Amino acid sequence: MLHDLFPPGIQHALDLAGIFVFATAGALLAVRKNFDVFGIAVLAEVTALGGGLFRDIVIGAVPPAAFGELSFFVTPLIAAALVFFLHPEVQRINRAIKVFDAAGLALFCVTGTTKAYEYGLGLTASAALGLATAVGGGVLRDVLANEVPTLLRDREMYAVPATVGAAMIALSIAFDALNALTTAAAIVTTFVLRLLAMQFHWRAPLAWNRRSAVSEEP
């Protein structure tokens, strides 16, 4: 589906760009946690490829794309090497990295949903795997770094935009309206929602009428 909407070269370049920015985010967290070079590389790989790896195993697309395409595996190592040597400079452009990360989130929730549907899953399951593709690597990264996963405490609505994008693709498929326009609309909507959440510090709602005196952990 998605490969019918965009030329293969463009689709591959977009995948690599998303993998690179996700890997950079993972490597930066490893640096902040004082991980060694191996830990930096592992967190970069896991962040970049974890979501897609989980999706491919669930739908039976084996070997997963992360292992079948050498460039997918090497790109996170390049990002890890850059962060290892240039992390002060990379940290200074962290805002720009977050913008690219939002673009990767938007792309991956769409590609994940369409690929899951191509392998025979229903619309709801496909949207769920689209979300997993977009945020799964970040969850694994946070667990390995001993952080509360962003998925569970969505302070700047990271998972919500991906859910919206995946749902838009699922609805487009349901109404036989999946084309370049609706795909682009899902990507742009996810991207813009994520940017607005970062700008205005939007977050998902807490428990209704919560009156506990226990303060939220930092």
Task: Give the largest CA-CA distance in the chain.
Answer: 55
* Number of Cβ within a 10 Å radius of residue 181: 11
Rounded percentage of the chain residues whose pLDDT exceeds 90: 61
Q: How far apart are the first and last CA of the chain?
A: 42
Preceding peptide of 76 cis, ω within 30°: no
Average pLDDT over residues 17-29: 90
Q: Please determine, for residue 67, whether its predicted confidence score (pLDDT) is greater than 60.
A: yes
Helices 123-144, 94-118: crossing angle, 10 deg rounding:
140
The per-residue b/e assignment along 81-104, b for 16 or more CB within 10 angstroms, e otherwise, is ebbbeebeebeeeeeebbebbbbb
Query: Looking at residue 149, what is its pLDDT?
Result: 87
Q: Please determine, for residue 152, whether its predicted confidence score (pLDDT) is greater than 90.
A: no
- 192-195: which pairs have CB atoms within 8 A and are 24 or more residues apart? 193/157, 193/160, 193/161, 193/164, 194/102, 194/105, 194/106, 194/156, 194/157, 194/158, 194/161, 195/99, 195/102
Query: Looking at residue 170, what is its pLDDT?
Result: 96
